[in-house]
Homo-oligomer: A and B are copies of this chain.
Protein backbone atom coordinates (compact mmCIF):
# COMPACT_ATOMS: atom_id res chain seq x y z
CA UNK A 1 0.00 0.00 0.00
CA UNK A 2 1.98 3.01 -1.23
CA UNK A 3 -0.92 5.35 -1.93
CA UNK A 4 -4.08 6.10 -0.04
CA UNK A 5 -7.03 4.50 -1.88
CA UNK A 6 -8.51 7.53 -3.77
CA UNK A 7 -5.03 8.56 -4.91
CA UNK A 8 -4.21 5.01 -6.08
CA UNK A 9 -7.46 4.96 -8.01
CA UNK A 10 -6.70 8.26 -9.74
CA UNK A 11 -3.20 7.05 -10.67
CA UNK A 12 -4.76 3.89 -12.15
CA UNK A 13 -7.11 5.99 -14.26
CA UNK A 14 -4.26 8.12 -15.61
CA UNK A 15 -2.21 5.02 -16.41
CA UNK A 16 -4.90 4.04 -18.90
CA UNK A 17 -3.94 7.04 -21.03
CA UNK A 18 -1.76 6.28 -24.06
CA UNK A 19 1.94 6.74 -23.39
CA UNK A 20 1.44 7.35 -19.68
CA UNK A 21 3.47 5.04 -17.43
CA UNK A 22 3.32 4.67 -13.63
CA UNK A 23 5.67 7.60 -13.00
CA UNK A 24 3.80 10.03 -15.26
CA UNK A 25 0.46 8.88 -13.88
CA UNK A 26 1.72 9.56 -10.37
CA UNK A 27 2.92 13.04 -11.37
CA UNK A 28 -0.43 13.76 -13.00
CA UNK A 29 -2.31 12.63 -9.89
CA UNK A 30 -0.20 14.86 -7.67
CA UNK A 31 -0.86 17.71 -10.09
CA UNK A 32 -4.60 17.14 -9.62
CA UNK A 33 -4.19 17.23 -5.83
CA UNK A 34 -2.34 20.52 -6.16
CA UNK A 35 -5.12 22.09 -8.23
CA UNK A 36 -7.55 24.54 -6.65
CA UNK A 37 -11.10 23.22 -6.24
CA UNK A 38 -12.20 25.42 -9.17
CA UNK A 39 -9.42 24.19 -11.47
CA UNK A 40 -10.19 20.56 -10.63
CA UNK A 41 -13.84 21.20 -11.42
CA UNK A 42 -12.88 22.88 -14.70
CA UNK A 43 -10.94 19.72 -15.59
CA UNK A 44 -13.78 17.29 -14.85
CA UNK A 45 -16.25 19.56 -16.62
CA UNK A 46 -14.02 19.72 -19.70
CA UNK A 47 -13.91 15.92 -19.78
CA UNK A 48 -17.66 15.56 -19.33
CA UNK A 49 -18.46 18.28 -21.85
CA UNK A 50 -16.12 16.86 -24.49
CA UNK A 51 -17.60 13.39 -24.02
CA UNK A 52 -21.17 14.71 -24.26
CA UNK A 53 -20.84 17.24 -27.04
CA UNK A 54 -18.17 16.01 -29.42
CA UNK A 55 -19.75 13.67 -31.99
CA UNK A 56 -19.17 12.76 -35.61
CA UNK A 57 -20.33 15.23 -38.23
CA UNK A 58 -22.90 13.31 -40.28
CA UNK A 59 -21.60 14.81 -43.51
CA UNK A 60 -17.81 14.41 -43.31
CA UNK A 61 -17.49 12.26 -40.14
CA UNK A 62 -14.95 14.60 -38.59
CA UNK A 63 -15.28 15.13 -34.85
CA UNK A 64 -17.32 18.18 -33.93
CA UNK A 65 -19.67 19.63 -31.33
CA UNK A 66 -22.01 20.68 -34.13
CA UNK A 67 -23.59 18.84 -37.06
CA UNK A 68 -22.76 19.65 -39.83
CA UNK A 69 -19.30 20.51 -38.46
CA UNK A 70 -17.53 23.87 -38.57
CA UNK A 71 -15.60 22.90 -41.70
CA UNK A 72 -18.64 21.62 -43.62
CA UNK A 73 -20.63 24.81 -43.00
CA UNK A 74 -17.74 27.21 -43.72
CA UNK A 75 -18.86 28.84 -46.97
CA UNK A 76 -15.43 30.41 -47.53
CA UNK A 77 -14.00 26.95 -48.12
CA UNK A 78 -13.82 25.36 -51.56
CA UNK A 79 -16.90 23.13 -51.96
CA UNK A 80 -15.51 21.43 -55.07
CA UNK A 81 -12.55 19.60 -53.50
CA UNK A 82 -12.79 16.88 -50.89
CA UNK A 83 -9.79 15.40 -49.10
CA UNK A 84 -10.37 11.81 -47.99
CA UNK A 85 -8.56 10.84 -44.76
CA UNK A 86 -8.67 7.83 -42.45
CA UNK A 87 -8.94 9.58 -39.10
CA UNK A 88 -10.05 12.87 -37.50
CA UNK A 89 -6.42 13.38 -36.42
CA UNK A 90 -5.48 13.59 -40.10
CA UNK A 91 -7.93 16.49 -40.55
CA UNK A 92 -6.22 18.28 -37.68
CA UNK A 93 -2.82 17.67 -39.30
CA UNK A 94 -3.98 19.22 -42.60
CA UNK A 95 -5.73 22.13 -40.92
CA UNK A 96 -2.51 22.89 -39.12
CA UNK A 97 -0.76 23.52 -42.43
CA UNK A 98 -3.31 26.29 -43.20
CA UNK A 99 -2.77 25.37 -46.86
CA UNK A 100 -5.78 23.26 -47.65
CA UNK A 101 -9.09 25.12 -47.96
CA UNK A 102 -11.42 22.44 -49.30
CA UNK A 103 -13.71 19.90 -47.66
CA UNK A 104 -12.84 16.65 -45.88
CA UNK A 105 -14.24 13.17 -45.65
CA UNK A 106 -13.11 10.99 -42.73
CA UNK A 107 -13.33 7.27 -43.52
CA UNK A 108 -13.13 6.40 -39.79
CA UNK A 109 -10.53 3.74 -40.54
CA UNK A 110 -9.02 1.76 -43.39
CA UNK A 111 -9.98 -1.51 -45.07
CA UNK A 112 -8.21 -4.27 -43.16
CA UNK A 113 -9.46 -7.80 -43.89
CA UNK A 114 -7.09 -9.26 -41.28
CA UNK A 115 -8.87 -7.24 -38.57
CA UNK A 116 -12.25 -8.14 -40.07
CA UNK A 117 -12.70 -4.54 -41.17
CA UNK A 118 -14.45 -4.45 -44.54
CA UNK A 119 -15.49 -1.41 -46.61
CA UNK A 120 -18.95 -1.51 -45.00
CA UNK A 121 -17.39 -0.53 -41.64
CA UNK A 122 -16.12 2.75 -43.13
CA UNK A 123 -18.02 5.86 -44.22
CA UNK A 124 -17.57 4.93 -47.91
CA UNK A 125 -21.30 4.80 -48.68
CA UNK A 126 -21.67 8.33 -47.34
CA UNK A 127 -18.67 9.52 -49.39
CA UNK A 128 -20.21 8.18 -52.59
CA UNK A 129 -23.51 9.85 -51.71
CA UNK A 130 -21.70 13.16 -51.26
CA UNK A 131 -19.97 12.75 -54.62
CA UNK A 132 -23.38 12.24 -56.26
CA UNK A 133 -25.24 15.05 -54.55
CA UNK A 134 -22.64 17.74 -54.00
CA UNK A 135 -20.73 19.68 -56.61
CA UNK A 136 -17.44 17.93 -55.92
CA UNK A 137 -14.99 18.05 -58.83
CA UNK A 138 -11.83 16.66 -57.21
CA UNK A 139 -11.08 13.99 -54.63
CA UNK A 140 -7.66 13.94 -52.93
CA UNK A 141 -6.72 10.73 -51.15
CA UNK A 142 -4.61 11.62 -48.12
CA UNK A 143 -4.17 8.05 -46.98
CA UNK A 144 -1.04 6.57 -45.39
CA UNK A 145 1.23 4.48 -47.67
CA UNK A 146 0.59 1.21 -45.82
CA UNK A 147 -0.88 -2.10 -46.98
CA UNK A 148 -4.30 -1.13 -45.57
CA UNK A 149 -3.99 2.39 -46.98
CA UNK A 150 -3.10 1.18 -50.46
CA UNK A 151 -5.97 -1.36 -50.41
CA UNK A 152 -8.42 1.35 -49.37
CA UNK A 153 -7.22 3.75 -52.07
CA UNK A 154 -7.48 1.02 -54.71
CA UNK A 155 -10.99 0.11 -53.59
CA UNK A 156 -12.14 3.74 -53.52
CA UNK A 157 -10.57 4.62 -56.87
CA UNK A 158 -12.52 1.82 -58.55
CA UNK A 159 -15.74 3.32 -57.21
CA UNK A 160 -14.95 6.98 -57.82
CA UNK A 161 -13.14 6.97 -61.17
CA UNK A 162 -16.18 5.85 -63.22
CA UNK A 163 -18.02 8.97 -61.99
CA UNK A 164 -15.55 11.10 -63.96
CA UNK A 165 -14.27 12.91 -60.87
CA UNK A 166 -10.62 14.01 -60.76
CA UNK A 167 -8.83 11.71 -58.34
CA UNK A 168 -5.36 12.14 -56.81
CA UNK A 169 -3.27 10.83 -53.97
CA UNK A 170 -0.87 12.92 -51.87
CA UNK A 171 2.82 12.63 -52.81
CA UNK A 172 5.23 10.31 -51.03
CA UNK A 173 8.95 11.02 -50.97
CA UNK A 174 11.76 12.56 -49.02
CA UNK A 175 10.48 14.62 -46.07
CA UNK A 176 11.57 18.27 -45.98
CA UNK A 177 14.82 18.87 -44.12
CA UNK A 178 15.86 15.24 -44.32
CA UNK A 179 18.93 13.75 -45.95
CA UNK A 180 18.99 11.43 -48.98
CA UNK A 181 21.73 9.42 -47.36
CA UNK A 182 19.53 8.38 -44.44
CA UNK A 183 16.28 7.80 -46.34
CA UNK A 184 14.99 4.22 -46.42
CA UNK A 185 14.79 2.37 -49.74
CA UNK A 186 11.00 2.49 -50.00
CA UNK A 187 10.91 6.24 -49.50
CA UNK A 188 13.68 6.77 -52.06
CA UNK A 189 11.90 4.55 -54.62
CA UNK A 190 8.68 6.47 -54.04
CA UNK A 191 10.40 9.84 -54.41
CA UNK A 192 12.01 8.70 -57.66
CA UNK A 193 8.72 7.31 -58.95
CA UNK A 194 6.94 10.58 -58.06
CA UNK A 195 9.56 12.87 -59.62
CA UNK A 196 8.24 16.04 -61.25
CA UNK A 197 9.54 18.06 -64.14
CA UNK A 198 11.07 21.37 -63.13
Q: Residues on A close to B: CB < 8 A? A: 1-7, 9-10, 12-13, 16-20, 24, 26-33, 35, 37, 39-40, 42-44, 46-54, 63-66, 69-70, 88-89, 92, 95-96
Contact = CB atoms under 8 A, between A and B. Distances in A.
Contacts of A26: 89, 92
A65 B7 contact: yes
Contact of A6 (B7, B16, B39, B53): B53
A67 to B, nearest CB: 10
Contact of A44 (B2, B28, B44): B44
Contacts of A16: 31, 39
Contacts of A10: 46-47, 49-50
A9 B96 CA distance: 17
Copies per complex?
Answer: 2
Contacts of A69: 4
A127 B16 CA distance: 38
Given A47-B40, A50-B10, A3 B92 contact: yes
A121 to B, nearest CB: 16
Contacts of A40: 47-48, 51
A177 to B, nearest CB: 18
Contacts of A43: 13, 47
A17 B53 CA distance: 23
Given A2-B92, A19-B27, A27-B19, A63 B9 contact: no
